[in-house]
Structures are given as structure tokens and as C-alpha cells.
A and B are shown apart, each in its own frame.
Chain A
Amino acid sequence: MKIIVAIKQVPERDAQVRIAANGKWIDEADLQWAMNEPDAYALEEALLLKESGGACGEVIVVSAGPERVGSTIREALAKGADRAIQILCDDLNGRDALGVARLLAAAIKPENPDLVLTGLQSEDLGLGQTGVIVAELLGLPHATMILHVEKTESGLKVKRELEEGWFQSIELPTPAVLTVQSGGNKLRYATLMGIKRAKTKDLRTVNAAELGAEGTPAVVLDQIAAPKKQKSTQILPGSAKEAAAALVEKLKTEARVL
């Protein structure tokens, strides 16, 4: 099976984010970057499928973004992806979900994969649409929030998460696009050997402009800001001990929940 995994590089989870001077995006200077977590699960699922399918499988990683995205692609290669395509694009944040999906679809199409996997949403913009739109652009069936993928004679059987602790099986033919939910598997770490090998693996770069996938955005992000507080929180100051004692007192006499 030939599997393409679309991954995104996002700010590291614990990174301090500041709003950029123009108020339209975050200040990217000094940020640490990481692989979007649901995409890491998509990659894991792809690697497991390949490993269970014998020697003929291939896992190709595709990612759009500026130069820096290369480090996340290398990480995917170190974990076991066979090769990668980097779509060089410095204005990723100026594109809407359709604009980004157009880039990915244009890079994926000539590869004719059996399966396209991606995380169900990104940790930065959280749009949760890219995989579904890629499917639509490629004319492929899709399923979302997938925790497990099984190959069957006629295609795939997948486990889809529903709300409130429910699940559902879905059967669909290949080629198909799946968006993967976090937590279905355990993520592997790159081995030292893997990291070494990654350096020699094929990483092809293509400029976004060359893909012929431009269009005007239908949706524009005008401004970002800090969220408004829903409640006024009493922050209890002092050392851990002082704050703990103050909290117990408040819970007893003010909130009356003890």
C-alpha cells in the first residue's frame, strides 16, 4: 500500500505565544516547533499499516510551510517514513483551509496513493478541515476522527470516534482519505539508526507557486487577540503551602464545598 501522510509543523505545546505586531498572527521569533500531535498519530498508523503489509508498502510524508518545516519532516523520516515532499510556502497563514488543501492535493495527486492520512486538526489554527477538503479535491471518499485502520479485501475498515465515549465502524473503498484522532496507538520514538538514515532519504522540495494551485481566499483572518475571561478568578498567592492553606479556607467558608 502506498500511503501519504500530510503533516504540519506547529508551535510546541508549552511555547509562550505572543501576538505579532500587526495583530494578524503570532510572533514566530524564538518559537520552538514540533509535529502537530494528531499528525504524529496519523504517521504512526501509516507506519503500522506498512509494517503489517510486508515489503511492498511505502510511506510518503508531505508538508507545506516555510524552510523550518524541514526539521519536522526529518523527524518523520527518522521515525520510518520512506521519503518526503516539502511544499515551500512562506504565506501559509494567509491561506484559508481550501487554499492549503489545494497545495496538498496538487502535491499528492501525481503520486496516486492508496491512502492519504492526516491528523484531524492542527494545534495552532484548529480548523479541522484540511483532510476532508483534500478528499473532496481529489474526489476520494473519506472518514474522520479515526482511531484504527484495518485493511480488508475490498478496502478499509476503520474505527471512528463519536461523541461522549461512543464509536462506530466504517467500511470504505480505497483510495481514501482518513483524518486520524490522537490516542489510537502509542507513538514511537525515532531511533539513533533512524535519525542517521533520515539524512540520506529523499526529500523533494517544490515551490507552492509551481503547483498551480492558487486561488483567492473565501475566508480571512482579520485579527487575533487574547480571549475574554468568562469568570473572575481569585488567584491565591504565596508559597505552595500558603496558597494551599488559603484555598482550603476559601473552599470551606466562601464556596462552601468542603
Chain B
Amino acid sequence: MSVLLVLEQSCGKTRRASWEALVAALRLGPAENITAVVIGAQTEALAAEAAAKPVGKVIRVEHPLLAQYTADGFCAALQQLIQNESPTEVVVFSHTYQVRDYAPALACRMGQVLIGDVVAIEDGPKFVRQLMQGRLIGSYRHSGIGPCFVSVQAGAFRPDATDTRPGAAPAPITTFTPTIDAAQIRTKPGEPFRASEQTVDLGSAQRIVSVGRGIKEAANLSIVQELATALGAELAASRPICDNGWLPMERQVGSSGQTVAPRLYLAVGISGAIQHLVGMKGSQCIVAINKDPDAPIFEVADYGIVGDLFEVVPALTEALKAAKQ
């Protein structure tokens, strides 16, 4: 299959998720059939980096109006590129916030539908993605004519196969200049900012007790705080806890919060949605306490207790205290 792989940059560097998308692309076609696309206003260095990877060629999509990401700019540029590169059978992206923002519109413009957040590719090709917040998976297939658009989930495709090819000549690089008019770009994006100063560094914590919506009320947090103290652990949380203001946002673990990899991660009343899992999957030992035996958190846990956290958590605190004596 002929594959167009759209790479994404952050601060002038290709994002790691893009190299994971390359692994997915290599499942669809041999390296020589893969065209890597870098997009922006100054893409020379990005293109050189991509040319050293196992790809057939690299295209620089360059235009001054692409300096800053906008959905309108990227859709216009990539639509022209795809039409110019036809026939392209598959267009592969990483499933980032940016891709979520424009790829559905780009696909729609070409009469297609993005198969988003893919976790596996099977023969066919069939594209597997999660449903029901990770409790089920679904197998999807492209049925129309024209290019198939696919974005892959962070962490689902391991990027070791994408190492540079020592000794091989770099892939050829060409430049494509789309026609974009400033009036086409309707949104005016501002510079990224952070909400507040970080005062806790969860990233370096050895042990973390993390609490989710199963705790039900802010007043109940004391039982997990006591458990964290008994363990000598930092307290962290899933997003709804921070959204509710029960804990500060800097203690949120997940794709829109912190990424952590402690020796012990104890998840209390957390279901294990993918946006949470990406922030803690790398922990050495994962323990889950949840009343639902089918909660997706158990898919990544080393140890699990299926039960009511209001019974299990105090019992665990007691057991830890007893073990210390």
C-alpha cells in the first residue's frame, strides 16, 4: 500500500508519537512505499531527521502561513498535497490533540472518515480501536473508495523498528508549496501557557497513591491521604477529581496532566480510561483497587483487589502500619 505519514512537530522537533505512527505505517506497507510529510514554515531540519528513517521519500509542505498550526491552514495544505500525491491509499497520523483538531475535517473534505485512536492493525487491514472507555474494542474497516485516514494512539506502536538505518542513504527530500491565502485562516491562535506554577514533582516520586471518582466526595479523600502517608507516597488523582477542585491540577495524572513512572502506583477507584493510562502505564508495579472486576485498570495492573474501596483502603492502611511495627 502507498502510505502518507504526516509527522507532527513541537518546538522544532518531531514528536515521539510521530515515530510511533511510522511503526504503524510500516505495518501497512514497506518503507519504500511510505512518504513522510513534514509541515510548517521552516522544515529543513525536520525533513533531514525524517529522511534518515525507513521511509521511501520525504516531502516538505512549506508555507509562511503554516508557521503556526491552524486547522484551516493544515487542512488546505494537506488536501492539496494528497491530491497531488494520488493515488495515496492510506494517510497515517498520530492521535494527538492537534490531529484531533483538523484530521476529521480534512477527511470530511475528501469524502472520508478518519479511523481515529487506533491501537492495533490487523490483516485486511482492520483497524482496532477502543470503545466504551476501554471496556471493549471494535474492529473497523475502510469501505469507501479513495484514501483511508488513520490516527494511532500514543503508546500503542513501539518505535524501536524505526531506528535510523545505519549505512543506508537518506531518503530523497522534495518540497511542496501549497496555495494558501491568509483570508482562509479563520482562527487566531495564541501562545501556549501553563495554568500555574508546579510545586509538586510527581515525576520523581517513588510511590504514588492515585484516587479517582470512586471516592465519591471530597470529604472521603482523607482515607486515601492516610493510605498515602502510611506508604510514604505522594497523592495523585484522575482528572475528574482535579476538575472538581478536590485536588490541585498539578496532581493530575494522564494525557492532560503529568506523566509518572514510580516504583509503585496504587490506583484507587480509577476506571483506567486511556487518557489516564498513558500517564502511568510505565510504572514499575501497578496495584488497582476497584469494585468492578471488568474495569480496564486491571488490564495494566500487576495486583488487584476487587472490592469496595471504603473497606479495602482503611484495611490496607492498617496492614501497612502493622507491617512497619
Residues of A with Cβ closer than 8 Å to B? 11, 14, 16-17, 19, 26, 96-98, 101, 120, 123-129, 132-133, 135-137, 141-145, 161-173, 182-183, 216-231, 233-236, 240-241, 243-245, 247-248, 250-252, 255, 257-258
Q: Would you list which residues of chain B between 94 and 145 have a CB under 8 Å from chain A?
A: 96-97, 100-102, 104-105, 107-109, 111-117, 126, 129-144
Interface residues of A, dominant DSSP: mixed
The answer to whether B108 and A98 touch across the interface, beta carbons within 8 angstroms, is: yes
Q: How far is the CA of A156 from the CA of B319 in the complex (A)?
A: 55
* Chain B 169-204 interface 0/1 with A at a Cβ cutoff of 8 Å (1 = within): 000000000000000001111111111000000000
* Cβ–Cβ < 8 Å partners of A124 in chain B: 131-132
With A17-B135, A219-B113, A225-B136: A240-B97 Cβ-Cβ less than 8 Å: no
The answer to whether B188 and A165 touch across the interface, beta carbons within 8 angstroms, is: no
The answer to whether B302 and A234 touch across the interface, beta carbons within 8 angstroms, is: yes
The answer to whether B195 and A165 touch across the interface, beta carbons within 8 angstroms, is: yes
Q: Would you list which residues of chain B between 228 and 255 have a CB under 8 Å from chain A?
A: 231, 239-240, 242-244, 249-250, 252, 255
The answer to whether B305 and A133 touch across the interface, beta carbons within 8 angstroms, is: no
* Cβ–Cβ < 8 Å partners of A222 in chain B: 126, 138-141
Stretch at the interface among B46-54, B55-63, B307-315: B307-315
Task: Tell me how many residue pairs across A and B have CB atoms closer than 8 Å.
Answer: 252
B226 proximal to A (CB < 8 A): no
The answer to whether B139 and A247 touch across the interface, beta carbons within 8 angstroms, is: no
Interface size class of B (residues with CB under 8 A): 35 or more
The answer to whether A225 and B137 touch across the interface, beta carbons within 8 angstroms, is: yes
B78 proximal to A (CB < 8 A): no
Q: Which of A17, A135, A219 has the most CB of B within 10 A?
A: A219
* Cβ–Cβ < 8 Å partners of A252 in chain B: 323
* Cβ–Cβ < 8 Å partners of A127 in chain B: 116
The answer to whether B190 and A168 touch across the interface, beta carbons within 8 angstroms, is: yes
B45 proximal to A (CB < 8 A): no
30 inter-chain pairs at a CB distance below 8 angstroms, sorted by A residue, are: A17-B132, A98-B112, A120-B100, A126-B117, A128-B100, A128-B116, A129-B100, A132-B108, A136-B105, A141-B71, A165-B195, A183-B239, A183-B244, A217-B143, A222-B138, A222-B139, A226-B136, A226-B137, A230-B299, A231-B286, A231-B301, A233-B288, A233-B301, A240-B305, A243-B307, A247-B287, A247-B305, A247-B319, A255-B302, A258-B231
